[in-house]
Every structure is written in structure tokens, then in C-alpha cells.
Chains A and B, each alone.
Chain A
Amino acid sequence: MTAASIDAGAVADEPVDRSLALRGLRKEYVRGTPVLRDVSLTFAGRGLTAIIGPSGTGKSTLIRCVNRLVEPTAGQILFLGQDLARLRGAALRAARRRIGMVFQEYNLVERLSAIENVLCGRLGYVAPWRAWLRRFPREDVDGAFDLLEAVGLADRATQRADALSGGQRQRIGIARALMQQPDLLLADEPTSSLDPKTSVEIMELMVELAGKRDIPVIVNIHNVELAKRFAQRIVGMTGGDVVFDGAPGDLREEHLKQIYGGEAWL
């Protein structure tokens, strides 16, 4: 990676097609019982897509198949001109660093400082010995400080991650994902461990920062209200199938009944 392409603003000068297409994506943890049933979806190269659905319906599996944290059983994942499902070794790692990910439990390295957690986003680019000696390239360190500022935690740079609150940790998680200079941002239940106010702030932050960089975002989320508020598109899943796909305004009660089952909760 050269210094020029690390520059935070460099996204716009080379228009890349950041759309993602899933074709017949299937996942069986146990043979014969698919968690994802041949899902085919196309995600545009911009904006926020929310995937809603009950627990255990394959939302997390779907999103983890994209960067191969979970191995798909069958199907294609077309992104940046290649089928991610076929990649192995160094090619897979090179593809992974183009995809940032934000987690429900933040998944920070608790005993490292906030800034070092952000710099961990560069581990796909930086040689292991540099990371080991903490000699990250100058522009990476600058980028990390800029991102800490962007998520409002510039003053916490040297604090250990385990000294931060849940909302602060998730901000670090977002900064780490953006530190990868990704072409796609995945978020797996990013607000489920947070209080309602912090949840909104985290969603706003993701929309703002990803929007500035023109990075498409795919978010798994339980909270239908948050999904409607922040997404341009909602995908409803149940039992490993996509049962709704459309604009937030088109999501009706009958869809929610179909997605979550029953109506007593509505």
C-alpha cells in the first residue's frame, strides 16, 4: 500500500464500483439443515442497508459469509470484480482488508490502548514486525489520530480499551474498521449492547463517516425503528430466506408479522 492511497480523502478520485452481489449463497453448519437458503441479493455501492429478522435467522451468518469469517457452503460473493467465496490465503486476506467490520461486542483487544486498537485496522497492510515493534508508518498514525478525532475520542487515545464505556468502545470499533480504508462496511448488531441514546449516536456516526467516504454499509439490526430511521433499504429475513426487500417506507405490519412471526408483540 502506498502512502498516496492511504490518504483519507483519496476515495473520490478513482471511482470504484463498490456494489456487492450474493448469488445463491447457502450455509449449512449441519449437513442438510441450511441456515441460509440460497440467498441472492445485490447491494448498491452506496448508502445503508439494514438486515432485520429474529435471532437465529441467519443474519449474522450472512454478514460473516461476506468476509469469510464463516465459510459459505455454496454460492458466489461478487465484490470488486472477484468471487470472494473462491479466495484463499493471501488473496483472501487482501480482500478482507477492503471490508471493514463492526461487532456487537466491539471485539477490541482489551489490554491495548485506544489508538493501538484503531491501528489494528492496518494489520492487513503493515508488516508483522512493524506492528510488533509498534512502528506503524507515519501516515497510519496520523490517520488513526484523525479517526479518533472524528469519533470524538481524541483525548482517550492512550487509554486502555478496557477503561472505556460501551459506546466509546464501539466508536473505537468503527474507527478501527474505517482505518482499513474499506470499500464496504459490515456491522453485526452494532447497537445491541448499547442503551437507546448511544445506539442512535453510533448509527449516526456510522452513517456520517461512511457517507463522507462514500462507503456502502450493511447493518444487521434487531431494532426495526433504528433500521427504518437510518437505512435507505431494508432486507427482512426469516428462517434463512429473504422475505422482504424494499424501502423503509414500504415496510408494513404484515411484513413484520411475516418476518418475526405472530403479532402479539406489535
Chain B
Amino acid sequence: MTADAIHSPGTAIRREWQRFTPRQRLMRYAFYLLAVAALVQSLRSIDIIPEFLEDAPAQVVDLFARMWPIDWAYYPKTVHAALIETIHIATLGTILALALATPVGLMAAVNITPWPALRLLAKFILVSSRSVNSLVWALLFVAVFGPGALAGTLAIAFRSVGFVGKLLAEALEEAHKGPIEALTATGAPWSSIVLKGYWPQVQPSFWSIALFRWDINIRESAVLGLVGAGGIGTALDDALNLLYWDQVALTLLTIFAVVIAAEIIVTVIRSRVL
């Protein structure tokens, strides 16, 4: 329907609507074409070796065959101690992260820290903590402290600071202004306002963040052993290097069980506490 028809009086009005202008449509089709071209080009350049690709199903079956029967005897020998170490790394790392992240979170919250320079510093700490993967932190700390659980714990803590600090700062910024205003009016010093005005308001978020991070850290600390930072990953690494697939199977199964258990524990505590 043309514009004339719409505006000329007497004729029946049929209005049309289209999501995109012709120009936008053209651009979209051009984008789709480009995406397909890129896919074709990348498939050509990744050097898939056809023999290996054909072989893959057989290899998978073979792998599972070698994993079976699972070497249960390996659990009390090595995996159990490593598992406990993993849980320790995750828990201690989380506690350390909470301690480190609380001041940084306070510094990053705009309603608590009025100085932009200090906030920028806090944001910088939070972003650098998050931009480095746990495995990379672990590599750094293994280089500094040598292999073992200490490096793993610090890696977990330093990776978690960014996560906990950012979420804590957001929770603080969402705190209601009213009670803060009321406590300011009583002449309370800054520290009392934080303790009695902000803390009760962010307390549920704080524990929720802590539990959530602990859950993540259980998973992350399971692989830290691959770079020598202790925990169950060490057992996995050893088994992989020695091609003991029945032990690899046991270790993977243990990690899976522990992650599920952590998930259940966190869900139960959260529903009880919050």
C-alpha cells in the first residue's frame, strides 16, 4: 500500500508495518552471507585430519573400555586425601577471598566511598582479579611458593576476590538510603553507620555470595592440580600421564560426586539460612 492510499480520504485504509527498513534488510542479508563465508573459510583452515575424524568413534569406545572396570582401590590410596585437600583449598580460599574482598567491595561502592580515585583503584583490583583465570593464578603462585595446596588456596582466593567484591559492592549500592540517613542524623560515626546501617541490609546477599562462590571454588580447585597447585587435580594429572584410565575414571567420578554434593549442600543451607 502506498503512502497516497493511506492518506487519501474515502479509500479503505490498510496500514502496513515492517520491522526493518529495506536498507536494514539488505545489511542483515549481507551479514548472514558474510557469516556463512567465514564458517566455510574457517572449516578449510583448521586442518581436520580425516583419518582421525573417522577414527574418533572407535577411539571413544576404546577409551571407555580402558576405563572399565573402575579402579576403586585407587580411592583410599590417593584420591581420598587429594579430595579432602581440594575441599580445604576451596573452603580456605573462599574464606580468604571474603576477608580480602570486603574492604575492596566497600571501596568500590559509590554510596560508601565518595572519592573517585579510590573507587577506580578498587575497580582496578576487582577487574584484574577476575580477568586472570584460576589456572593462571595457580601457575603464578606455583612459581612463587612452589607446588602444593598453598599455591592452590591463594589462586582460588585471588580469583574469587573480584567476584565477591563486585557483587558485594552492587549489594551495598542497592541498600536503602532511608536507614542510612536516619543513622547519619543520630550523629553516628562512619564505622557505626556501616555496621548498623549497611551490614544488616547486605547480610543476606553476603552469605548468598559466599555460598555461591564456595560452590564454584569446589569445581575450580578440582582442576588446579593439573598445574601442580594441589588437590584432586594432582591425582587426575598423575593418572592421565601414566595412562591408567581406570584411575582417571575413578577421579572423574569422584569430582562429579563432590560437585553434586556441594550443589546440594549449598541449596540446603541457602533455603535454611536466607
Would you give the 0/1 interface string for B172-183, flagging 1 where the beta carbon is closer than 8 Å to chain A? Answer: 000010110111
Q: Does residue B225 face the partner (Cβ distance < 8 Å to A)?
A: no
Given A93-B187, A95-B187, A108 and B196 touching (CB < 8 A)?
no
Least CB distance from A9 to B in Å reads 21
Q: Which of A119-127, A210-218, A245-253 contacts B (4 or more CB under 8 A)?
A: A119-127
- Within residues 198 to 239 of chain B, which ones have a CB less than 8 A from any CB in chain A? 200-201, 203
Q: Which of A72-80, A109-117, A198-206 contacts B (4 or more CB under 8 A)?
A: A109-117
**In the assembled complex, which residues on chain A have CB atoms less than 8 Å from the CB atom of B176?**
110
Q: Does residue A105 face the partner (Cβ distance < 8 Å to B)?
A: yes
**Nearest CB to that of B191 among chain A residues?**
A128
| Bound form: Cα–Cα A188–B182 in Å | 11
Q: Does residue B192 face the partner (Cβ distance < 8 Å to A)?
A: yes
Q: Does residue A97 face the partner (Cβ distance < 8 Å to B)?
A: yes
Question: Which of A92, A98, A132 is packed against the most chain B CB atoms within 10 Å?
Answer: A132
Would you give the 0/1 interface string for B148-192, flagging 1 where the beta carbon is closer than 8 Å to chain A? Answer: 000000000000000000000000000010110111111111011
Is there an interface contact between B196 and A176, defined as CB atoms closer than 8 Å? Answer: no
The B interface, classified by DSSP as helix, strand, loop or mixed, is helix
Is there an interface contact between A120 and B196, defined as CB atoms closer than 8 Å? Answer: yes
Q: Does residue B93 face the partner (Cβ distance < 8 Å to A)?
A: no
Would you give the 0/1 interface string for A113-146, flagging 1 where the beta carbon is closer than 8 Å to chain B? Answer: 0001000111111101001100000000000000
Is there an interface contact between B185 and A101, defined as CB atoms closer than 8 Å? Answer: yes
- Within residues 37 to 73 of chain A, which ones have a CB less than 8 A from any CB in chain B? 67, 69
How many pairs of residues, A versus B, come closer than 8 Å at their CB atoms? 83
Q: Does residue A103 face the partner (Cβ distance < 8 Å to B)?
A: yes
The count of chain B contact residues (Cβ–Cβ below 8 Å) is 21
Q: Does residue A159 face the partner (Cβ distance < 8 Å to B)?
A: no
Q: Does residue A99 face the partner (Cβ distance < 8 Å to B)?
A: yes
Is there an interface contact between B196 and A99, defined as CB atoms closer than 8 Å? Answer: no
Q: Does residue A163 face the partner (Cβ distance < 8 Å to B)?
A: no
**Nearest CB to that of A89 among chain B residues?**
B189
Least CB distance from B66 to A in Å reads 56
Is there an interface contact between A96 and B178, defined as CB atoms closer than 8 Å? Answer: no
Is there an interface contact between A97 and B183, defined as CB atoms closer than 8 Å? Answer: no
**In the assembled complex, which residues on chain B have CB atoms less than 8 Å from the CB atom of A96?**
184-187
Least CB distance from B203 to A in Å reads 7
Q: Does residue B195 face the partner (Cβ distance < 8 Å to A)?
A: yes
**Contacting residue for B182 out of A99, A122, A176, CB 8 A:** A176
Is there an interface contact between A93 and B189, defined as CB atoms closer than 8 Å? Answer: yes
Instruction: List 26 A-B residue pairs with CB atoms under 8 Å apart, sorted by A's residue number.
Output: A67-B185, A69-B181, A92-B187, A96-B187, A97-B186, A101-B185, A107-B178, A107-B179, A107-B181, A108-B179, A108-B182, A109-B179, A111-B200, A112-B200, A116-B196, A120-B188, A123-B186, A123-B192, A123-B193, A124-B186, A124-B189, A125-B187, A128-B192, A131-B195, A132-B195, A176-B182
With A92-B187, A96-B185, A110-B179 already in contact, 6 other A-B pairs whose C-beta atoms are closer than 8 Å: A69-B181, A93-B187, A101-B185, A107-B181, A124-B187, A180-B187
Chain B interface residues (CB < 8 Å from chain A) = 176, 178-179, 181-189, 191-193, 195-197, 200-201, 203
Chain A interface residues (CB < 8 Å from chain B) = 67, 69, 92-101, 103, 105-112, 116, 120-126, 128, 131-132, 173, 176, 180
